[in-house]
């Protein structure tokens, strides 16, 4: 039984990492007052670019950096359109998702089935021997280890640093920034682009450390899950981590049970992460909404009528 739990949880970390990185990126953008539904697109371009650069240079680390840059580039389009051109955030984000799907299949054909160096799991001595926690947390690839740092750093940075304060203010009271001579647009843009970089990193993790392959549309909705996750985590980086691992674990339940010969309804299992998110949102929605950045609430409460 505990073995089963260990497998579900370690699957949760494995499968949750890309979602977590994307959701942390989205958290950053939303803390600054911008929703990016194009996160799915950022994941996709990150996955392809990461894999392609790893294949061409022979270095998965180079792939990781390139994936982050690609995610940032797509997010820059989003930032430009919604901040500079004042386009609708939801529509622009969804369009970017389509665009990301198209552009990656256009340029990705050369990399389907092509071999590329990737990240292999590295067990951390001693720590990986700890019961349950060892296999769950310390028997993964280096990117996953790296990802452990992102949320605490973001939490600290948002809270304690001056630039973090600026980002939060851009999401809460943009007019205050203006009074003090800052340009809220630039700060928001920076947060969106940095968020896209994180999503791109998540995509690169997916292709170079998890699936070890590129295939068009391989993110399969994980970017949307990330967006929903941010709300249910009430825009807090540490809760995002918990939510992402929960999602990963839900995705892992079916194979864990099946590999032991148990019958599961595959379609019910597939719907489960989405159903559970909806339920959680229904239960805690009202409370989390109060935690939403002010500028974001404006986006959420009246969006289409521009």
Partner 1 sequence: MTATATAPRDMLAGLGRWAAALLGALVLFALLLLVKGANPLTVLWGMAVSTFTSPPTIEQIVIKSVPLILAALAVVIPARAGLTNVGGEGQVVIGAVAAAGVGLWLDPSLPGPVVLVLLLVGGGLAGAAWAGVAAVMRLTAGVNEAVTTLLLNYIALDVLLYLIYQPWKDPEGSGQPATRPLEVAARLPLLGTTAVHVGVVLALVAALGTWLVLRRTAFGFRLGVVGGNPEAAGRAGLPVRRLLLAAMLTGGGLAGLAGAIHFAGVEFKLRPGLTTNIGYLAFLASWLVRHRPLPVIGAALLLAAVTIAGDSLQLDSGLPAATVHVLTGLLLLAVLGWTRRKGDAT
Partner 2 sequence: MSVVFRMPRIAVFVAVAALVAACSANTAGSGDATGSGAPGKGAEAVGFIFVGPKDDYGYNQAAYEGSQAVASAYPDLEVLTAENVPEDDNAARIMNSMIAKGAKVIFATSYGHLDAALKVAAEHPDVAVVQQGNLITGTVPANAGTYFGTVYEPVYLAGIAAGKATKSDKLGYVYAFPINQTISNINAFQLGAASVNPKAKTYVVNTSSWCDPAKQAEAAANLIKQDVDVITQHQDCTATIIKATEAAGKYTVGYHADASSLAPKGWLTGSEWDWDKLYVDIVKTAIDGGFTGSKYNANYRVGFKTGENPFVQSAFGPSVAQPTKDAIATARTLLGTEQGSPFAGPLTDQDGKVRIPEGTVPDYAEIEKIDYFVSGVVGKLPK
Site of interaction with partner 1 (CB under 8 A): 35, 37, 77, 80-81, 85-88, 90-92, 94-96, 98-103, 105-107, 109, 216, 221, 224, 227-228, 231, 265, 267-268, 270-271, 274-275, 277-278, 281-286, 289, 300-306
Q: Could you tell me the two tokens for 38?
A: 């194009």
Separation between Cα atoms, residue 118 and residue 52, nearest integer Å: 11
Examine residue 303 and tell whether it contacts partner 2 (CB under 8 A): no
Binders of partner 2 among residues 49 to 108 (CB under 8 A) are 105
**Residue closer to partner 1, measured from CB, 124 or 281:** 281
Binders of partner 2 among residues 244 to 263 (CB under 8 A) are 251-252, 254-256, 258-263
* DSSP letter (8 states) at residue 109: G
Burial 51-69 (b: 16+ CB within 10 A, else e): bbbbbeeeebbebbbbbbb
Shortest separation between residue 25's beta carbon and partner 1, angstroms: 16
CB-based contacts of 151-154 (< 8 A; 24+ apart in sequence):
151/20, 151/24, 151/237, 151/238, 151/240, 151/241, 152/237, 152/238, 154/24, 154/27, 154/28, 154/237
Shortest separation between residue 306's beta carbon and partner 1, angstroms: 7
Examine residue 11 and tell whether it contacts partner 2 (CB under 8 A): yes
Binding mask 109-148 for partner 2 (x = CB under 8 A): x--xx-x--x-x----------------------------
Ramachandran area for residue 217 (φ above 0: left; ψ -120 to 50: alpha; else beta): left
Q: Could you tell me the two tokens for 167?
A: 């980002």
**Residue closer to partner 1, measured from CB, 179 or 282:** 282
* DSSP letter (8 states) at residue 174: H
Separation between Cα atoms, residue 71 and residue 84, nearest integer Å: 19
Which residues of the shown chain bind partner 2 in the complex (CB under 8 A)? 7, 11, 14-15, 18, 105, 109, 112-113, 115, 118, 120, 206-207, 210-213, 215-216, 218, 220, 222, 251-252, 254-256, 258-263, 265-267, 270
């Amino acid at each position: 039984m505990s073995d089963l739990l260990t497998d579900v949880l370690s699957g949760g970390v494995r499968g949750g990492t890309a979602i977590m990185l994307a959701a942390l990126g989205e958290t950053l953008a939303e803390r600054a007052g911008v929703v990016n539904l194009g996160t799915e697109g950022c994941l996709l371009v990150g996955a392809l670019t990461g894999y392609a650069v790893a294949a061409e240079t022979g270095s998965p680390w180079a792939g990781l950096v390139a994936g982050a840059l690609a995610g940032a580039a797509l997010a820059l389009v989003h930032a430009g359109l919604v901040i500079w051109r004042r386009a609708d955030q939801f529509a622009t984000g969804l369009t970017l998702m389509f665009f990301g799907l198209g552009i990656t299949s256009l340029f990705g054909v050369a990399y389907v089935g092509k071999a590329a160096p990737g990240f292999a799991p590295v067990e951390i001595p001693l720590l990986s021997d700890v019961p349950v926690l060892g296999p769950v947390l310390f028997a993964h690839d280096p990117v996953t280890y790296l990802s452990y740092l992102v949320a605490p750093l973001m939490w600290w940075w948002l809270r304690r640093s001056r630039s973090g304060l600026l980002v939060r203010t851009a999401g809460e009271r943009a007019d205050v920034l203006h009074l003090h001579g800052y340009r809220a647009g630039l700060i928001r843009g920076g947060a969106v682009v940095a968020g896209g970089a994180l999503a791109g990193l998540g995509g690169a993790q997916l292709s170079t450390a998890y699936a070890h392959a590129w295939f068009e549309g391989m993110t399969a909705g994980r970017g949307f899950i990330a967006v929903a996750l941010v709300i249910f985590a009430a825009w807090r980086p540490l809760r995002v981590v918990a939510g992402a691992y929960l999602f990963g674990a839900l995705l892992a339940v079916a194979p864990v049970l099946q590999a032991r010969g148990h019958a599961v309804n595959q379609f019910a299992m597939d719907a489960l992460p989405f159903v559970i998110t909806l339920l959680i949102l229904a239960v805690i929605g009202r409370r989390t909404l109060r935690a939403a950045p002010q500028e974001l609430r404006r986006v959420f409460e009246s969006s289409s009528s521009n």
